Structure 1
Amino acid sequence: MSRLRLIGLTGGTLACALGIGYGMQHGQPAPPPHSTPAVSPAEANMPATEPRQTDPAPARVRTAESGPLEIEKIALTSAEAAGPTPVSEMHQHPTVSEVAAAPSANAALPTPPEDPEMPGLGCEVTAQAVPGPMAMVDFSVSAPCFGNTRMVVHHNGMIFSAVTDSEGSLNVKIPALAERAVFIAAFDNGDGAVATARVPGIAEFDRVALQWQGNAGFQIHAREFGASYGAPGHVWSGATAAGATDHASGSVLRLGEADVLSPLIAEIYTFPAGAADRSGAIALSIEAEVTADNCGRDISAQLLQRQGANRITTRELDLSVPDCDAVGDFLVLNNLLDDLKIAAK
């Protein structure tokens, strides 16, 4: 037998003898030759004379945005604050929880999944514009999270306030001012929606819009073909059906919710020029009733007039209302609008 083999055999025998002696001294069976007790990586790095730490220590966790989780210390919740652990217990096989709680320094912990995106709450605002008879557009808004909420509707320079119902819906008929009509619904927080519609028959109608803010008391009046005040052919928002004539006549529609903060009101007069059965002129005027809300104040309005081609003219109106002792009177403003010239078809 060679010297190297003799040295190896002698060393192995000496190691076995020492192991058996150590086990007999401490009441622990010696491991069989050429075997190594299963020890967790954390135990392998722990000094033989130092008991396992049982005092709880805080764990530092890095968020998913800054990188993988990194756990520096873990307190075993099952440990009891007793005296030092016997040395013999340090060489027992580790439990599953101990192995899981003490990964090796080189082992990469799995990255936790990112938080799922919060599902939408169905608060999207949508709008739709559908052309109808008389160059009118059915404008509808759906806003499930804006029930009974003030909103503002814009259409080619015209603007008025509205309020959704309890389900966040709005349905309103709007006289179109352009063949390619654009409608915008806007809430006070910035949410809103846009809808468009093509109104091919709009050239057959003449329209004038008057709009203002607050309780200014404005009115638009049309006296068709020489009609006098209160007679058939005098058209305004307060006219009754009894004032209608057998001839083609116009109508006034008021839009806007007055019982809201900062109300925006619009009145639109429409005459079906393409269906006129007589020729003549329509005298247009703006009136303002002196009320307790506007007396002694300056009020303003804006006029939008569309006649014939796709062209809208605008004009600003500023008016000083008399003092409150004139409540109930009317201010009549002529020559602010061009009279409509109608030719029979």
Structure 2
Amino acid sequence: MSYIKETVTAVGTLACALAIGYVMQSSEAANALYGNAKSDRELRSLDAETSMLVVKDITLTSAEFSEPTEPMLDDSSNETTVQPAPDDTVHLSNDTTSALSEIEETSCEISAKARPMAAAMVNLTLTAPCLPNERVTVHHNGMIFTQTTSKTGSLSIDVPALAETAVFVFAFGNGDGAVAQAKVEDLTDFGRVVLQWKGDTGLQIHALEAGSDYSGAGHVWSGQPRSMAAAITGEGGFITMNGDLDAVEPLVAEVYTFPAEMESREGGVKLTVEAEVIQANCGTEIEAKSFELRGRDQLVTQDLSLAVPDCTALGSFLVLNNLLQDMKVASN
């Protein structure tokens, strides 16, 4: 695999976030998604200097209609007279109207389920019949990403858990939503590193396992993500991506999952965050948030804000060293 491009390196340590919680999505909340707090330290690169931040009621109306009738002849007269049609108006009782309204409301009910899977993953299913092709924001332990329901209003995704009692909140733009919960008993068998952002930032997690270089089999990233089977068998980690990348300004969460035992293996894992300079981000400032979960340790978060070089640096990479904690064998 070829991965040879001009690279710009930025080194720095980021401040931990003060709090993690569910933030229901709204047009105003999206702007404050990653917070505006800035730290006193800066990431520096050859080309860029960066600062740290971290149904409704249904009215049923009966229809009045009359079927055409044949003319009736009166023997005492040559005149043709038309007999009036019977009253065919449909009258619905209050009980019937209430029952039909209840059926309609039930058909629009939003429901969600969470089912634990292997590798501390959770399968989420959402049913929202009256919200097809609709943007929905998923919240879990500080991790936030957006998805789009199908044409029938359904959604099925696999999400990495960040807590043993994993609670997932689904929020639609109109204020509707649902909550699902699952017990993830094997969470401590795996570690997680999450990087989340908004829009097309060019950001990527790169894991170099067991001393691998960029051309080796131990290089795990979105271009070589592996499957969860690698973590289940102990081979190594894998990358998952949550978020509808085709949506307008999507909220995206990229996650590297690895077996906890890898922390004691020879060579360990070197973790970096890289940002490719692309047309969508050149000359702008991009923001992101990272989460790290190691065994039974508390979830650690960091915020970052990175100034991307101008468009003359297209194709280059900003490599953020020391943003994520490497996994290395402790020296004796």
TM-score scaled by structure 2? 0.65
Cα–Cα, structure 1 residues 113 and 259, in superposed 2: closer, same or farther, change >3 Å? closer
Displacement, 1:261?
2.3
Amino acid at match of 2:221: W
- Show the counterpart of 2:219: 234
Code of the residue aligned with 1:230 in structure 2: it is S
1:175 aligns with 2:170: no
Distance in 2 (CA, whole Å) between partners of 1:294 and 1:216 is: 6
| Aligned match of 2:115 | 130
Aligned 8 A contact 1:248 1:276 in 2 = no
Q: How far apart are the structure 1 equivalents of 2:189 and 2:314?
A: 40
Q: Distance in 2 between matches of 1:196 and 1:150?
A: 21
C-alpha distance in 2, partners of 1:341/1:194?
38
Q: Is the 8 A contact 1:248 1:277 kept in 2?
A: no
3-state DSSP of counterpart to 2:119: helix
Are the counterparts in 2 of residues 273 and 342 from structure 1 also a CA contact under 8 Å? no
Q: Deviations over 1:100-123 (max 9, x none)?
A: xxxxxxxxxxxx979954334211
Q: Number of paired residues?
A: 231
Displacement of 1:271 after TM fit? 0.5
Q: Residue in 2 aligned with 1:165?
A: 150
Once the two structures are TM-superposed, the CA of residue 277 in structure 1 deviates from its matched residue by: 8.5
Q: Give the Cα–Cα distance (whole angstroms) in 2 for the partners of residues 300 and 230 of structure 1.
A: 28
What whole-Å deviation, never above 9, does each CA across 1:12-71 have from its counterpart, x for those lacking one?
Answer: xxxxxxxxxxxxxxxxxxxxxxxxxxxxxxxxxxxxxxxxxxxxxxxxxxxxxxxxxxxx
User: Between the two proteins, what is the percent identity of the paired residues?
Assistant: 48
Deviations 1:173-206, CA, capped at 9 Å, x for gaps: 1111111101111111111100010101110001
Q: Per residue, is there more helix in 1 or in 2? A: 1
Partner of residue 253, structure 1? 240
Matched, 1:142 2:127: yes
- Aligned CA RMSD, in angstroms, stands at 2.5
Higher strand share: 2
Of the three residues 205, 218, 224, the one matched with 2:203 is 218
Match of 1:296 among 283, 287, 293: 283
How has the CA–CA distance of structure 1 residues 113 and 120 changed in structure 2, closer, same or farther, with 3 Å as cutoff? closer
Which one of 200, 210, 216 corresponds to residue 185 of structure 2? 200
Secondary structure, aligned partner of 2:268: strand
Match of 1:119 among 60, 81, 102: 102
Alignment match, 1:282: 269
Instruction: Provide the secondary structure at the position in 2 that maps to 1:203.
Output: helix
Judging changes above 3 Å, is the alpha-carbon distance between structure 1 residues 137 and 252 closer, same or farther for their aligned structure 2 residues?
A: same
Unmatched segments (≥5 aa) in structure 2: 1-92
- The structure 1 residue matched to 2:301, chosen from 272, 297, 314, is 314
Question: Within 5 Å, which residues of 2 pair with 1:23-172?
Answer: 117=98, 118-121=101-104, 122-172=107-157
**Structure 2 residue aligned with 1:336:** 323
2:46 — aligned with what?
Answer: none
- Shift in alpha-carbon separation, 1:124–1:254, aligned structure 2, 3 A: same
> Aligned-pair distance for 1:279?
3.7
Relative contact order, CA 8 A, sep 6+: which one is greater?
2
Q: Is the 8 A contact 2:262 2:268 kept in 1?
A: no
Unaligned runs of 5+ in 1: 1-111
Residues in 2 aligned to 1:149 and 1:113: alpha-carbon distance in whole angstroms: 34
